[in-house]
Structure 1
Amino acid sequence: MSGTTMVVVIVCVVFGILYKMYNKHLEFKAKTISHNNSTDSLNEELRKEIESLTERVQVLEKIVTDEGYQVQKDINKL
């Protein structure tokens, strides 16, 4: 093998490796973006559920702290 042939082979191998590494990087980036999008939608669903539960707790707190509720509770105890 001549020196020129060896240089060409080495350059081809190096560029082949770099090309594969770049493709793996692009695949990883695509997976990361996909994961982030699905996580964002899940976070939005959870945020809406938390808001709904917070509203329900506020309603329950109003009911429990209402004086009429306490009177009804005392009547039921008798």
Structure 2
Amino acid sequence: ELVESLYVYYREKLGFWISRVQDSITVSNVPDWKPKEFELAEGTPCGYIERLSWSNRDRIEEVSFTWFDPHTVRYAARWS
């Protein structure tokens, strides 16, 4: 029953939508459980994003953690 977009699934099947997000961007170390395709070595400092997403019910519905190589990735967020 999953559709391509989680946000459509949230709205149509679960009855809520994401109304606001907060991203905190800093530097962290690559975790030891990283995928082999992530080229930076474990423990190497890299970009790190923590995202909290609130629904129209004013509850946190999503939490995500993202590590990225700032030499190959540019962060951009766009919400409308």
State the TM-score, normalizing by the size of structure 2. Answer: 0.15
Q: Whose helix proportion is higher, 1 or 2?
A: 1
Instruction: Decide which structure has the larger Cα Rg and report it.
Output: 1
